[in-house]
Amino acid sequence: MTGANIPYLLRAARGEKLDRPPVWMMRQAGRYMKAYRDLRDKYPSFRERSEIPEVAIEVSLQPWRAFKPDGVILFSDIVTPLPGIGIEMDIAEGKGPIIANPIRTLEQVEALHTIVPDESTPFIRPILTALREEVKNEAAVLGFVGAPWTLAAYAVEGKGSKTYSIIKNMAFSDPTVLHALLGKIADMIAAYACHQIECGAQVIQMFDSWAGQLSPQDYEVFALPYQKRVFEQIKAKYPETPLILLVTGSAGLLERMGESGADMISVDWTVDMADARRRLGPEMGVQGNLDPGVLFGSKEFIRDRILDTIKKAGPRGHILNLGHGILPTTPEENAAYFFETAKQADQLLAAV
Ligand code: CP3
């Protein structure tokens, strides 16, 4: 393939020197968009919106049509594959995932089965196929998965948590059950990510959203080895597919995240991008890292932060993004301005 027909985002992931970084936004499809809220009125259940292919495709394409980002992400959730191994779930409006029968015993872990993605998540194939057809090579199609620790946190706690007291009780008393669960989830996630690649995903981002709740020494026991286990299995089958790792609140963990086998680290705004670059070294790609709150600022402020981030990240191996998902009350015109400015960053930087 020549440069022209490789999506720009993949060129950044390969470390090519570029005039401006590719740009997309975590949660770019979602509540801050009127088009999304209108569709949500018609399909009030999140599982409907994400599991009826025509609806999920439409949601992913709403920001694509509005802003032409360099990446279009599958509209789904990190808990979507769990029923496929025997963990039933729902996603409650405003609350997030709910697991009615949390996993607490070895018997429950042993009863979990392997995943057959085309049977348990049959919507993934038509969704990713349609997204690839729609965006052609004008953008990269991203798939995503939750990491073992974060999915285990939902499976064990039964819902989102502020304290993680139940899973930490397991981890810090007799961790046998938890390690068995993490291992099973890791193998499932690797198979599910490979399936997304087979269906058309060109990049996989893994969200270890709750791994930042662990101290670094516990991250090394309960999060990092299982991130590695997932990434190694994906790389063994698809060595060319770029892998991005995100941990929420990762400032104290960056160097350790760099050991996960990811090609790029999604950096949040608690770290200065120049520091992140230094700490991760020249070989590691970076994504990020504007505070989503910047989009509540003035246009001038938004523009300055974009350009500052781009300068600090340098011309290679950077995907411009927020440090975490766009917030639901963000003015839509500020999201539009973010994309416009990012796509003209080469001219804007040349002019200063
Ligand atoms: O980025 C994208 O545009 C793709 C969509 C996406 C969703 N969830 C859709 C969604 C992605 C990448 C996720 C990942 C996800 N889900 C994570 C990791 C990212 C992160 O935030 O750290 C986590 C922790 C979850 C679990 C989850 N699902 C939460 C915490 C919530 C939010 C609850 C709420 O309402 O605020 C959900 C529900 C959810 N998943 C929504 C969306 C757009 C919000 C509900 C809605 O808009 O209808």
Domains annotated on the chain, with CATH: 3-351 (3.20.20.210)
CA–CA dist 214, 223 (Å, integer): 8
CA–CA dist 262, 83 (Å, integer): 26
- 172-209: pLDDT as tens digits: 999 999 999 999 999 999 999 999 999 999 999 999 99
Q: Note whether 72 and 64 are within 8 A (CB).
A: yes
Interval 135-157 mean pLDDT: 98
DSSP type of residue 69: -
Q: Is 77 in the pocket of ligand 1 (CB under 6 A)?
A: yes
Query: Whats the size of the chain, residue-wise?
Result: 352
CA angle 131–136–139, rounded 5-degree value: 80
Residue 196 pLDDT:
98
Q: Is 30 in the pocket of ligand 1 (CB under 6 A)?
A: yes
Interval 119-132 mean pLDDT: 98
Closest Cα to atom 27 of ligand 1: 96
Q: Which residues are catalytic?
A: 27, 31, 40, 77, 154
Q: Note whether 314 and 25 are within 8 A (CB).
A: no
Q: Which of 49, 78, 142, 322 should be mutated for ligand 1, with most atoms under 8 A from CB? A: 78
CA-wise closest residue to 263 among 313, 200, 206: 206
CA-wise closest residue to 294 among 283, 310, 307, 305: 305
CA–CA dist 135, 7 (Å, integer): 10
Q: What backbone torsions phi and psi does residue 11 show, to the nearest 5 degrees?
A: -65, -40
CA-wise closest residue to 243 among 257, 224, 263: 263
Gap from CA of 52 to ligand 1 centroid (Å): 17
CA–CA dist 80, 51 (Å, integer): 9
- 253-311: pLDDT as tens digits: 999 999 999 999 999 999 999 999 999 999 999 999 999 999 999 999 999 999 999 99
Closest Cα to atom 8 of ligand 1: 77
Q: Is 159 in the pocket of ligand 1 (CB under 6 A)?
A: no
Residue 99 pLDDT:
98
Helix (H) or strand (E) holding 266: strand 264-267
Q: Which two tokens stand for residue 128?
A: 């990713």
Q: Is 81 in the pocket of ligand 1 (CB under 6 A)?
A: no
Amino acid identity at 227: Q
CA angle 130–132–134, rounded 5-degree value: 65
| More confident of the two residues 219 and 2 | 219
Closest Cα to atom 26 of ligand 1: 96
Q: Note whether 33 and 262 are within 8 A (CB).
A: no
Q: H/E/C letters for each residue in 131-156?
A: HHHHHCCCCEEEEEEECHHHHHHHHH
Structure-derived torsion over alpha carbons of residues 160, 166, 168, 172, reported in degrees to the nearest 10: -170
Q: Is 196 in the pocket of ligand 1 (CB under 6 A)?
A: no
Burial status of residue 327 (CB atoms within 10 A of its CB: 0-12, 13-18, 19 or more): middle
Interval 136-162 mean pLDDT: 97
Q: 77 pLDDT exceeds 60?
A: yes
DSSP 103-140: --SHHHHHH-----HHHH-TTHHHHHHHHHHHHTTTSE
Split at pLDDT 50, 70, 90, the class of 3 is low
Split at pLDDT 50, 70, 90, the class of 4 is low
Q: Which of 23, 24, 25, 27 should be mutated for ligand 1, with most atoms under 8 A from CB? A: 27
Cis peptide, bond prior to residue 5, ω within 30 of zero? no
Q: Which two tokens stand for residue 132?
A: 């690839």
Query: Could you give the percent of the chain with pLDDT greater than 90?
Result: 97
